[in-house]
Amino acid sequence: MKFYPNERIGLFIDGSNLYASARALGFDIDYKQLLNIFRSEGNLIRAYYYTALLEDQEYSPIRPLVDWLDYNGYTMVTKPAKEFTDTQGRRKIKGNMDIEIAVDVLEMAEKLDHIVLFSGDGDFRYLVDAAQSKGARVTIISTVQSHPPMAADELRRQADFFIELADLREHIGRSGASSADDDHPDQPDDSFLHLETA
């Protein structure tokens, strides 16, 4: 990766976007290892994880992951997901965290040397430009190897660096639920994440 020693690093993880990208590539994320990788690259100041939650369910399948991340080095940013019925009468869940990500990136930009954004959403192009104007370098982590590609071309062009998520698979990927349970019994499976982000 392209980090300088002692560089102040901030991670901004769009949870549902990262989940969709990893799932499109056929693997699950090892969140413990993800933190370890970036701690070894520089001075990791903060790792934000953004996700929407269904509040009125008696049990939310994403809650174990949220709790695990919260206790294991991540700063959780959550909000209630919206439930609606589409034109075909299908129940849909929507949880867009773009505003929360944008506000936090801009608030932290002057305190960081390097911003790492886990999202391929082209709407973040202008945010990346704004963070760069405050002096931060920006790396985008997403994928163009999925069909269709998850990383927007305009976002890749704006960023200082683009890291293909598939290239990180051997470092932050879990091979499956059984090996994940063996390696990290305290880390829940993330295979239930399916919020729409549009």
pLDDT tens by residue, the chain, 198 residues: 678 888 999 999 999 899 999 999 999 999 999 999 999 999 999 999 999 887 766 566 778 889 999 999 999 999 988 777 888 888 777 778 999 999 999 999 999 999 999 999 999 999 999 999 999 999 999 999 998 999 999 999 999 999 999 999 999 998 554 333 434 444 455 544 444 444
Q: Is residue 101 part of a domain?
A: yes
Note the pLDDT of residue 171: 94
Residue 134 belongs to what domain range? 8-183
Structure tokens at 61: 């399948």
Domain tally, the chain: 1
Compute the distance between CA of residue 176 and CA of residue 27 in angstroms, rounded to an integer.
7
Give the distance, in angstroms, between the CA of residue 96 and the centroid of all CA atoms in the same chain.
13
Domain for residue 197, yes or no? no
Number of Cβ within a 10 Å radius of residue 129: 12
Are residues 79 and 95 in contact, defined by beta-carbon separation less than 8 angstroms? yes
Look at residue 1 and tell me if it is in a domain. Answer: no
Q: What is the DSSP letter of 148?
A: S
110: Cα within 13 Å, side-chain hemisphere: 3
The model carries a pTM of: 0.84
Nearest CA to 108 among 5, 10, 3?
Answer: 10
